[in-house]
Amino acid sequence: MSVQEYLDKHALSRKIEDAVNAAVRAKTPDPVLFISNHMKKSVPSMITKVKARQILDSRGIPTVEVDLYTNKGMFRASAPSGASSGMYEAIELRDGDKGTYLGNGVSRAVRNVNEKISEALIGMDPTLQSQIDQAMIDLDRTEKKSELGANAILAVSMAACKAGAAEKEVPLYKHIAVLSGNTNLSLPIPAFTLISGGKYAANFLPVKQIMILPIGARQFEEALQMGSETYHHLKAVISKKYGTDGCSVGEDGGFAPSITSIREGLDLVKEAIGRTGYSEKLKIAIDVDATEFCIGTKYDLDFKSPNKSDQNFKSGEDMINIYKELCSDYPIVSIEDPFDKEDWEHAKHFSNLGICQVVGDDLLMSNTKRIERAVEESACNALLLKVNQIGTVTEAIENVKLAKDAHWGVVISQRSGETEDAFIADLCVGLAVSQIKAGAPCRGERLAKYNQLLRIEEDLGDQAVYVGDDWRLS
């Protein structure tokens, strides 16, 4: 027996003796269970195993799921995925074999977790999130996580965060709050998708989404009720005007009636809101996703129309005037990606008008350098954060801090390819961000996030604070 083995053996013997003595003092009716629990608490937790697999996301496309094991048990997380990826965001690793899942398989990313990341993380303390994330970044050694894959790294990072919360015996959102140094927890405004368009729906609506924000709700539970009721009223409105075929839905659950203009969609939403009795409590947000229909320096609002005349091209100045008119005619308080991702000049001009919240998605791509540039140039006043675009929990926290230091709003967002993992719900509360964008109040992968926020609000009890009217200030 080596010296170390001798010391380990006797250290274990002392821990067993301490556990037995504690059980005797406690006069517990179940000494075996007591001793077992006492032993678990006395042994420092560490990552003992990391196992990944390929699963399917909400679009039926492969993604990475990870089971991370510690002394406390097993903790599972899965990486979301977008329909498109930008040149400035972290890279998800796909196999490229067209004969399997049309090239979308993630077996290489899974293998990287099982063979490389696992080896690097075994023995690490799951409560040390930044060290775990940095270990994976160092192992990858690329700027965009292209060696191991952002999908592999993120799934492990999220699973480790859940394990860290369990080790501290606190809810995930409280663990995230501690990691970020945040002491003020709050429930975010949900941005419910009601109508889907752009490339995400089979209609002729050029913009990506029309959403509602239940700003006038007093708690999240009430906000969810407002969203659900409005969604069902809208279904009735659409069914009457377009038939039941108009009630088909896009990838995130929004209805996709055969409409051709932004105003047509806004009128439908406005009518649905009018039926709810919540007119003073609901506001409208739109995600333009203008990069998708920008050609050179012009914007083609007919890009989806089969009979387009090429006469509906708009300049950046034209788009600003359109947005001004829409905000005047409808209760629009937030516009996401009103211009192309490289159209910084018009973005700055529009943002400085102060008409509404201007959210940067494609403009920023959750990229730290682009966020810093946008802050410096006042190109928007809110960050849309997608965790898979940055790749680790630690970096997501840092980017939220960057936005908050600039007095921006923060929207933590779903992806078109989602899973049942509700991680971003806890992330929103832990970081006290002002808004969550998780899709329509339907479809399981979307409702997983909203339902988790219900549980968190219940868990917080009297301490629960819903952002509500202060959503631009949080």
| Annotated binding-site ranges for Mg(2+) | 289, 336, 361
Task: Let me know if 252 is a catalytic residue.
Answer: yes
Residues within the annotated binding site?
Answer: 289, 336, 361
The active-site residue, picked from 57, 95, 133, 252, is 252
Cβ neighbours, 10 Å, residue 83: 13
Q: Kindly write down the DSSP assignment for every residue of 452-466, as one continuous string.
A: HHHHHHHHHGGG--B
CA distance 355 to 332: 9
Handedness of CA 150, 151, 156, 162 (dihedral sign): positive
Joined together, the tokens standing for residue 256 give: 């996709």
The active-site residue, picked from 162, 386, 437, 449, is 386
Q: What is the largest CA-CA distance in the chain?
A: 86
CA distance 458 to 474: 21
Residue 352, helix vs strand vs coil: helix
CA dist 43 to 38, 39, 82, 294, 456, Å? 9, 6, 40, 58, 30
Residue 411, helix vs strand vs coil: strand
CA distance 282 to 459: 26
CA dist 180 to 129, 176, 430, Å? 11, 6, 8
Which among 439, 419, 431 has a CA at the least distance from the CA of 456?
A: 431
> Which residues belong to the active site?
252, 386
